[in-house]
């Protein structure tokens, strides 16, 4: 099985469209060979994860593309960076690292990518359609694009995402191919009480369990209500892509490729069936809290993936006229921030003591106070990455729990809904 | 064989899949995820046997930083091929930094090999015990 390149692919590789495209094609071809892909396909958009600073190598790579004349070939959005460019005091980075982080963000903008700086481009108007071939990075965005939108992307990491954007191509493999999108695992959530399945707080827990259980396999979930929201699916996918390598899950009657169980069940090979039990759900719930016995919290963070405008509406209803006793961070896209500003909602949030973080978030860059302590969150992804990336212990709860706890500084959690 | 190359190092078997981003500090090469069973272990210079790669697509960037900083494993043996990790090595080569071989290996082939045993990876993709 060898990689077949078209005449046009070969011209890009040979440098007919400049040195940056040639470099991008070399890496793309190496990746395609690593993946045993037989061809490259054209993609209609890219989402670049590579603008987040992890070290000087990422800056060097991006600036090498810029110096070689690199420009994106398809509409391209940018993931979070390591700085909040709208609120420069938010991030506690040392000046040298901050300067490098800024260079990395600027490099991708100068290559023609849109400065969206969000991990959830799908909620600010960038929504590829059903069956559309795209090349997206950022694990939650990948899961959302594949699962909720029915677009087709594989898990593109740093570098390859940029190479896809500069060439407008991706290796034809994995989830780009129809038959690989069929489910090998069926999860039956029928037994979970409807009262729990109606709550946002259930979905990060379900995702945490799903990622641990299925790893990289495509799954299909039955027994979720048809009223499940996009924010709930976003939270499910983000958690599953944190504890596992989940890039696609189907929900029967909800996600576009799963009008029925039959439509997405793998036709060849064995299919594993799992009935979701109370014990499985409670074990996943416990995993999201590392500071179980604490009474006080030191901070709250919401917005991983970035808070949507509907999530802000829920937050506004909870905090209006109240005052937070501990730092409360809501991470979001600059586009969503602009919308809040236009609606006049920003003042209400500021008065309640909510700190808006744009372009970045609290687990990818130093924002939380250095003193450390206990971070409460309603995000499965924050709960997963918080301890290793911030040094804070974490407590998981609903958005309502987070607000009630932030008002007093004391942990308040609704436990009853988890018993059945 | 994802990335061919010669290497030698002591075997470190990770007991669970890992996301390099959020899982390993590129400055020190140490596993920093407190939930990971190998929390505190150093992957630097080891022949790292990974049951799987999970989580963030930023892991290719961490692989590049590990190679630039000299904190990378000597070689990586993976139960499932993972382009995200291997791609960090490809880019390291493009930028003129070191590479490390990455092999797709049935990890049961290492059953009975003690932890820390010195292994040699050959450019033909063989894993030999020294």
Mark yes or no for CB contact B34/A387 under 8 Å. yes
Interface probe with B: pick from A52, A57, A156, most Cβ of B within 10 Å = A57
3-state helix, strand, coil in chain B (%, to 5): 20, 25, 55
The C-alpha torsion from A145 through A151 and A153 to A159, rounded to 10°, is: -60
- Assess A146–B contact: CB distance below 8 Å, yes or no: no
**Active-site residue numbers of B?**
56
| DSSP three-state, residue B120 | strand
Which parts of chain B have pLDDT scores under 50? none
- Map A305-328 to HEC letters: EEECHHHHHHHHHHHCCCCCCCCE
Q: What is the DSSP letter of A337?
A: H
From CA A159, how far away is CA B23, in angstroms rounded? 19
- Tokens 């064995």 correspond to A270
Q: Is the dihedral of CA A155, A161, A165, A169 positive or negative?
A: negative
- Assess B4–A contact: CB distance below 8 Å, yes or no: no
Mark yes or no for CB contact A159/B91 under 8 Å. yes
From CA A297, how far away is CA A325, in angstroms rounded? 10
Q: Which of A146, A158, A106 is nearest to A241 (CA)?
A: A146
- Assess A372–B contact: CB distance below 8 Å, yes or no: no
- Domains of chain A, CATH where assigned: 7-179 (3.30.499.10), 182-287 (no CATH), 299-413 (3.30.499.10)
Q: Is the dihedral of CA B32, B34, B36, B42 positive or negative?
A: positive
- Assess B62–A contact: CB distance below 8 Å, yes or no: yes
CATH number of the domain at B7-129, out of 3.50.30.10, 3.30.450.80, 3.30.429.10, 3.30.460.10?
A: 3.50.30.10
A315 preceded by cis ω (within 30°)?
no
CA distances from A417 to A196, A198, A232 (A): 6, 11, 17
From CA A62, how far away is CA A112, in angstroms rounded? 12
Element (H, E) at A349: helix A346-352
- Assess A413–B contact: CB distance below 8 Å, yes or no: no
pLDDT one digit per residue (tens) for chain A, 420 residues: 699 999 999 999 999 999 999 999 999 999 999 889 999 999 999 999 999 999 999 999 999 999 999 999 999 999 999 999 999 999 998 999 999 999 999 999 999 999 999 999 999 999 999 999 999 999 999 999 999 999 999 988 889 999 999 999 999 999 999 999 999 999 999 999 999 999 999 999 999 999 999 999 999 999 999 999 999 999 999 999 999 989 999 999 999 999 999 999 988 888 999 999 999 999 999 999 999 889 999 999 999 999 999 999 999 999 999 999 999 999 999 999 999 999 999 999 999 999 999 999 999 999 999 989 999 999 999 999 999 899 999 999 999 999 999 999 999 999 999 998
H-state helical runs in A41-122:
56-67, 95-110
Mark yes or no for CB contact B87/A160 under 8 Å. yes
> Exposure string (b/e) for A395-415, b if CB count within 10 Å is 16 or more?
bbbbbbbbbbbbbeeebbbee
Nearest to B58 among A142, A157, A387 (CB): A157
Residues of chain B with C-beta less than 8 angstroms from the C-beta of A216: 52, 54, 80
pLDDT number for residue A49: 92
B49 to chain A, closest Cα gap in Å: 17
> Exposure string (b/e) for B107-121, b if CB count within 10 Å is 16 or more?
beebeeeeeeeebbb
Mark yes or no for CB contact A158/B61 under 8 Å. yes
CA distances from A155 to A49, A139, A220, A245, A361 (A): 11, 7, 19, 9, 21
Q: Is the dihedral of CA A145, A147, A149, A152 positive or negative?
A: positive
From CA A297, how far away is CA A195, in angstroms rounded? 28
pLDDT number for residue B56: 67
């Amino acid at each position: 099985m060898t990689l077949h390149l078209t005449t046009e692919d070969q011209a890009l590789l040979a440098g007919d469209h400049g040195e940056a495209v040639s470099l991008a094609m070399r890496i793309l071809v190496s990746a395609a060979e690593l993946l045993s892909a037989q061809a490259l396909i054209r993609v209609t958009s890219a989402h670049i994860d590579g603008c987040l600073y992890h070290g000087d190598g990422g800056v060097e790579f991006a600036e090498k593309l810029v110096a070689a004349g690199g420009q994106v070939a398809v509409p391209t959005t940018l993931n979070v960076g390591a700085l909040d460019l709208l609120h420069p005091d938010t991030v506690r980075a040392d000046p040298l690292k901050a300067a490098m982080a800024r260079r990395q963000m600027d490099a991708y903008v100068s290559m023609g990518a849109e400065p969206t700086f969000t991990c959830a481009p799908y909620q600010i108007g960038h929504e590829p359609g059903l069956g559309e071939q795209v090349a997206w990075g950022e694990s939650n965005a990948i899961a959302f694009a594949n699962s909720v939108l029915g677009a087709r992307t594989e898990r593109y990491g740093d570098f390859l995402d940029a190479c896809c954007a500069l060439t407008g191509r991706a290796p034809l493999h994995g989830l780009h191919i129809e038959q690989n999108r069929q489910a090998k695992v069926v999860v039956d959530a029928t037994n979970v009480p409807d009262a729990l399945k109606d709550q946002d707080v259930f979905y990060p827990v379900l995702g945490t369990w799903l990622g641990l259980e299925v790893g990289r396999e495509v799954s299909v979930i039955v027994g979720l209500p048809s009223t499940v929201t996009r924010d709930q699916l976003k939270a499910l996918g983000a958690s599953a892509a944190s504890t596992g390598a989940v890039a696609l899950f189907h929900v029967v009657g909800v996600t576009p490729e799963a009008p029925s169980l039959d439509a997405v069940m793998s036709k060849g090979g064995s299919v594993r069936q799992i009935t979701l039990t109370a014990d499985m759900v409670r074990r996943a719930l416990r995993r999201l809290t590392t500071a179980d016995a604490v009474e006080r919290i030191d901070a709250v963070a919401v917005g991983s993936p970035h808070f949507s405008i509907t999530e802000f509406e829920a937050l506004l209803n909870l905090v209006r006229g109240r005052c937070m006793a501990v730092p409360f961070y809501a991470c979001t896209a600059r586009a969503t921030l602009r919308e809040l500003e236009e609606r006049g909602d920003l003042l209400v949030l500021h008065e309640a003591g909510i700190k808006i973080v744009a372009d970045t978030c609290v687990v990818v860059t130093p924002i939380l106070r250095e003193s450390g302590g206990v971070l409460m969150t309603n995000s499965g992804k924050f709960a997963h990455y918080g301890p290793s990336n911030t040094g804070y212990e974490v407590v998981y709860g609903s958005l309502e729990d987070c607000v009630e706890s932030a008002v007093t500084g004391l942990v308040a959690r609704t436990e009853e809904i988890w018993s059945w | 064989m994802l990335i061919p190359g010669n290497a030698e190092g002591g075997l470190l078997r990770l007991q669970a899949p890992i996301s390099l981003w959020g899982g390993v500090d590129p400055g020190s090469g140490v596993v920093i995820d407190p939930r990971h069973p190998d929390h505190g272990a150093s992957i630097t210079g080891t022949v790292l046997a990974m049951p799987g790669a999970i989580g963030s697509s930023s892991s290719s960037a961490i692989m590049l930083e590990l190679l630039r900083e000299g904190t990378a494993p000597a070689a990586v043996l993976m139960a499932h091929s993972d382009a995200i990790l291997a791609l960090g090595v490809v880019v390291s080569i493009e930028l003129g930094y070191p590479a490390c071989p990455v092999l797709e290996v049935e990890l049961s082939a290492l059953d009975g090999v003690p932890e820390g045993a010195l292994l040699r990876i050959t450019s033909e993709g063989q894993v030999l015990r020294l």
